[in-house]
A and B are shown apart, each in its own frame.
Chain A
Amino acid sequence: MEIVKFMLMIVGMVLVTFIPRFLPLALLGKKELPEKVVLWLSFIPAAVLAALLAPSILLKNGSLYLSLENTSLIAFFPTLLAAYKTKNIFYTVSGGLIFYLLISFLF
């Protein structure tokens, strides 16, 4: 990646990452956000993660990839179970990698 483009990207990413982390902590000692805004914001994490997840396991080169050969799609199900049971990033990610490897051997 070109250096100028990279620097621009990093500066932008730092700003948009730092501000939401810093502002509520520094300001909310004094006042609260409007209730509707808090409610809307509370749906963002689940919504954005689902929006990222679905294409990452269901699309390949821009089209639907519904097949037993889609290892990511098959590995998704045991990984979901592991996530639900453990609620732990480390166990789920390492479990997911093991499921992925096993499935790519089996199918």
Chain B
Amino acid sequence: MQHREESINKDNNLTAKLNDSSLKSGVKDALPIILGYLPIGIAYGMLAVNKGLTPLQTTAMSAFVFAGSAQLVSIEMIAAGAAVAAIVFMTFLVNLRHLLLSASLSLHLRNLPLYYYPFLGFLITDESFAVAMSKIESQKNKQRYFLGLGFTAYLGWVFSSAIGAFLTEFIDLGSGGALDFVLPAMFVVLLVMQISSRSEIIAAIFSAFASLFLALTINGSWNIILATVLAAFLGVYIDGNS
């Protein structure tokens, strides 16, 4: 009897160790993500302060929203004097891709206690998703791995935006110049990473031209929303006919 208890204890200890190693490898795998967030977060922080947010507001947005491209887009829209509803709707569209990331990730994170999901969900980004998809399969405790990965990346994002925002108080780089190219460059690489089929290329090209055309003909930022929705229908149509 005593012997059996001992062996159970041993098993529990072993499991605890394995759990810990999952968390730790998650934290370790987040380091390259932080390296990537650093310049983008700093650029976001500087742009946001230059376009009229306070450093505290800039950091708060990173802490609550945690979505780089949507945050950069919202900064541009704030500077252009867009309505709150338009900014929120645009954020929704830009972040709708998380629906797909979350759906793919759900295959690896099934049947967990419910309280895990808000945390795991909040931590889904393009980067944490990409790393998790290549590494999560070999982890003993997948949820702890993803928490370690996502939360470390999250801290990296909040800190790098804070650095950019508070630095601007001391060193004013002004707006314009190379910083303005951070966002287009990020769109380019996210776009290239998203595209995996011919119909997606056609939808993207259509969307680009539609967005340009609508920007030249209607007011506000609705060109992006309209172009996106139309292009997605075109994509479905092409896929159905090929």
Contacts and interface: CB of A to CB of B under 8 A. Distances in A.
A70 to B, nearest CB: 11
Interface string A77-106: 001101110111110111111001100100
Contact of B236 (A8, A9, A39): A39
A67 interface: no
B105 to A, nearest CB: 6
B167 interface: no
B215 A59 contact: yes
Interface string A1-12: 100011011101
Contacts of A23: 99, 102, 121
Contacts of A54: 207-209, 211-212
Interface in B31-52: 32, 35-36, 39-40, 52
B211 A50 contact: yes
Interface string A40-69: 111111111111111111110011100000
Interface in B176-235: 177-178, 180-195, 199-201, 203-205, 207-212, 215-216, 223-224, 227-229, 231-235
A-side interface mostly: helix
B203 A43 contact: yes
Interface residues of A, number: 71
Contacts of A83: 188-189, 191-193
Interface string B63-81: 0111100100110001000
Interface residues of B, number: 94
Interface stretch (B4-12, B15-23, B84-92, B134-142): B84-92
A82 B228 CA distance: 25
Nearest to A6: B57
A60 to B, nearest CB: 11
A44 B182 contact: no
B111 interface: yes
A18 interface: yes
Given A51-B231, A72-B180, 12 more contacts: A13-B87, A21-B124, A23-B121, A44-B93, A50-B204, A53-B188, A56-B187, A88-B189, A89-B186, A93-B189, A97-B181, A100-B185
A93 B186 contact: yes
B232 A79 contact: no
Interface in B97-126: 97-103, 105-106, 109-111, 114, 117-118, 120-122, 124, 126
Contacts of A80: 188, 192
B239 interface: yes
Contacts of B120: 25
Scoring A5, A41, A53 by chain B CB atoms within 10 A of each residue's CB, the highest score goes to A53
Closest 7 CB pairs of A and B: A96-B185, A22-B121, A12-B88, A43-B235, A90-B36, A51-B211, A92-B189
A62 B194 CA distance: 28
Contacts of A13: 61, 64-65, 67, 70, 74, 87-88, 91
